[in-house]
Amino acid sequence: MRNLIDKLEREHILEKDEFIALLTALSREGHDGETGTYLAAKALAVREKYFGRDVYLRGLIEFTNYCKNDCLYCGIRRGNPKAERYRLSAREILDRCRAGYELDFRTFVLQGGEDPYFNDERMVEIISGMRQEFPDCAITLSVGEKSRETYEKYYQAGADRFLLRHETAAPDHYGLLHPADMSLANRQECLFTLKDIGFQVGAGFMVGSPFQTLENIAEDLLFIGRLKPQMVGIGPFIPHPETPLGSYERGSADLTVSILGILRLMLPKVLLPATTALGTIDPESREKALGYGANVMMPNLSPLNVRQKYDIYVGKIHLDEEAAEGVARLKSRLKELGYETPLSRGDFPV
Ligand code: SAH
């Protein structure tokens, strides 16, 4: 496998069957087997070349859990009557940004379900309010599929980045995870549109989602190779009992960590979070992820009283902890591990 990893480092892409061979070895041996160890060393060297020991922290504000979509894996899907719905007001969102700014966050991520209440006018008001009050901060949106016109309004209002995981790049697999009124083609098109408008974009997928094969993951990697996003979010699938896919097995933290290493070699300058889902199923693997090239973490800045309601999957970590104490603890842990958390937006390096 070493020759494949060397090739990946050199050419930043592999053939599909080569990706499958590499993924097969990594899932057979575990992330700390011979292949994984070799991959990690390369990934870490690349990450250090571009980012040194920096880890960027992003303040995540989950501002609505209303959603018009019915994704079969997601706990806040429209079809879950047990989800207790909430929305934050523009004022509450700005309050969380103020608290985040005091905690040294210089990126705010607004994430939510696809909630029609937040129409263009309301979103533009929120984004411009943030842009005006925090001119030195990046604004990241993660609000799903919209028209080009809507994305342009967000961009003009001052948003800089957009996270939209493609979820899976295989159309058949996409169809098994989503209702018939959603399409992979549209989601992928949205990503290219966002990039064209000028957003730094983040694609990504769940590892170990139901029916996923290693061939599917190879297809995800090939899609990412074509899109060349500035960010990639991957995390293990975690079943939510109130969804149609609630009885499937969770994804592997181990394989997720290995795939982070592959992504770092494919896209040397990519912003790569060690995600909350990863930390949820295995707290140690969030730290391992940093050793495989991850360089971003996204602590939760949502108000305490809504946190447990943004319940995409079960057992999300730090539900009961004030952002301030959580961030202080995270920073000191990162310091112990030899990482820095610079006071910076942490943009994609040009
Ligand atoms: N509505 C927004 C935000 C979605 S939530 C959008 O469409 O982009 C953010 C991510 O959580 C999703 O993209 C999905 O990959 C992940 N997610 C949803 N349910 C999950 C589950 N059960 N386990 C793990 N990750 C999940």
* 135 pLDDT above the threshold of 80: yes
Q: How far apart are CA 152 and CA 169, in angstroms?
A: 25
Q: How far apart, in Å, are the Cα atoms of 177 and each of 160, 183, 188, 316?
A: 29, 11, 16, 21
* 186 pLDDT above the threshold of 80: yes
CA of 167 to the centre of ligand 1 (A): 8
The atom number, within ligand 1, closest to the CA of 114 reads 1
Binned at pLDDT 50, 70 and 90, residue 177 comes out as very high
Q: What's the pTM value of the predicted model, to 2 decimals?
A: 0.96
Identify the pLDDT of residue 30: 85
* 310 pLDDT above the threshold of 90: no
Binned at pLDDT 50, 70 and 90, residue 313 comes out as confident
CA of 161 to the centre of ligand 1 (A): 17
Q: Ligand 1: which of 72, 190, 206 to mutate, most ligand atoms within 8 Å of CB?
A: 206
Measured by CA distance, the residue closest to atom 11 of ligand 1 is: 312
Measured by CA distance, the residue closest to atom 12 of ligand 1 is: 165
Measured by CA distance, the residue closest to atom 1 of ligand 1 is: 113
CA of 234 to the centre of ligand 1 (A): 10
* 306 pLDDT above the threshold of 70: yes
Task: State pLDDT tens for residues 244-271.
Answer: 999 999 999 999 999 999 999 999 999 9
- The residues near 88 (Cβ < 8 Å, ≥ 6 apart) are 61, 63, 64, 96, 302, 303, 306
